[in-house]
Amino acid sequence: MYTLLLQSAEDVAREIARLQHGYQFLSYGLIVAWLLLVGYVLMMVARERKLKREIESLKAMLESTSSGSRQSPSR
């Protein structure tokens, strides 16, 4: 910290520009990470909805099959 006080104004400006450049890449990296996370969550939500629909469909098939098999022995 004290080394910045002993440097010239040009050196300080160069150091500030370097740090800002590093923060810019950090910001881009965080944006990409958040986008990936949101995409993953949306993909999991879509899969869950698909599985729920499939489960409901299988339940309906099972109920129709079991109700049909109950009626056939009554001959």
- Give the model confidence (pLDDT) of 22-45 as tens digits: 788 889 999 999 999 999 999 999
Tokens of 59: 């339940």
Please report whether residue 54 resides in a domain.
yes
Please report whether residue 14 resides in a domain.
yes
d(CA 39, CA 27): 18
* pLDDT value at 52 more than 70: yes
Please report whether residue 36 resides in a domain.
yes
Do residues 4 and 15 touch, judged by C-beta distance below 8 A?
Answer: yes
* pLDDT value at 69 more than 80: no
* pLDDT value at 75 more than 60: no
* pLDDT value at 18 more than 90: no
Mean pLDDT of 7-32: 85
Mean pLDDT of 7-31: 85
Please report whether residue 75 resides in a domain.
no
Please report whether residue 1 resides in a domain.
no
Number of domains in the chain: 1
d(CA 37, CA 33): 6
